Amino acid sequence: MEYVHKSVMLEEAINNLNIKPNGIYVDATTGGGGHSSHILAKLTTGHLYCFDQDEYAYQRSKDVLDKISNNYTFIKANFVNIKEELNKLGVTHIDGILYDLGVSSFQFDIPERGFSYNYDAPLDMRMNQEQDLSAKVIVNTYSFEELVRIFYRYGEDPFSKQIARAIEKARAIKPIETTFDLVDIIKSALPAKELRKKGHPAKQIFQALRIAVNDELRVFEKSIVDALEMLNSDGYAVVITFHSLEDKICKNVFRESSTIDIPDGVPMIIKDEAPFELITRKPITASEMELSENNRAHSAKMRVIRKR
């Protein structure tokens, strides 16, 4: 079966990269190759480096990109290693980088990947299928306190303690094996009025587990800091986030890079500019037309920064 992924804010992302035909570009989150294919199509003598640790993404994007050009290199690695992997290939500077931090549609839509609360499947959620840590391991072996921390910090779920306690009780009887096992436990821990609210009651806990399994926040912060260091003058970084925790990291890193820190009360004549220019004071969001066609665009925010 062919799983379809619609790239969010495709046109806005490509336009904000300001692609030079001879430039060096990085798609840090290649997925099915949606954004990559449009970057590659704008290159002549330039080169695109595509990062993704997911084997299925590699196969999918290769099929797409090979039809456009061979001016690309796929790097099957987590984008936390962006600097190291590019340095291995002799690349120390880049003209632009794109991060689309949403989970690819096909990862949600392939039931056996265990990302979705809509399918009954083994609890997994690993973007890198070769790593040992999975959602099943966390749910069945982490302490009550560790579960509460994950659910509060990464899911911002107000019922984190109740859900963690319900998990603790359930796994004492038998291991929690599947997504639907976990959904049932989450529902059992929530008051009736919460279950009647719009939206799926397991959404925040599944988000929290996915972030924990893949160490997403630490990985992103290290990667974007390294990427900004590698940007050439007049190079752009474009980041699309899908929840407040990622957006906060992006906002803070971009703000720190685009401002000069002056101690309070110290009279100074500012001669130097900050090394980066913040292009988006407020994040760009999806158009009304895209929102009507792609439900996953609703929570997307795009931020852009330029190296002076």
CA gap 56, 50 in Å, rounded: 14
- CATH superfamily assigned to domain 10-106+217-307: Vaccinia Virus protein VP39 (3.40.50.150)
The residue-averaged pLDDT of 138-142 equals 98
CA 291 to chain centre: 19
Nearest partner of 209 among 150, 149, 159, 156, judged by Cα: 150
Residue 3 scores a pLDDT above 50: no
Domains 10-106+217-307 and 114-214 equal at CATH topology level: no
CA 295 to chain centre: 17
Q: Which residues of 257-292 are buried (b: 16+ CB within 10 A; e: fewer)?
A: bbeeeeeeeeeeeeeeeeebebbbeebbbbeeebee
pLDDT of 97-128, one tens digit each?
Answer: 999 998 765 566 677 888 889 889 999 999 88
Neighbours of 37 (CB within 10 A): 21
CB 60 within 8 A of CB 196: no
For domain 114-214, the question of CATH label 1.10.150.170 is answered with yes
Q: Which segment of 4-13, 63-72, 88-97, 175-184 scores lowest on mean pLDDT?
A: 4-13
Mean pLDDT of the chain: 92
Domain residue extents for the chain: 10-106+217-307, 114-214
The residue-averaged pLDDT of 235-262 equals 93
Residue 261 scores a pLDDT above 60: yes
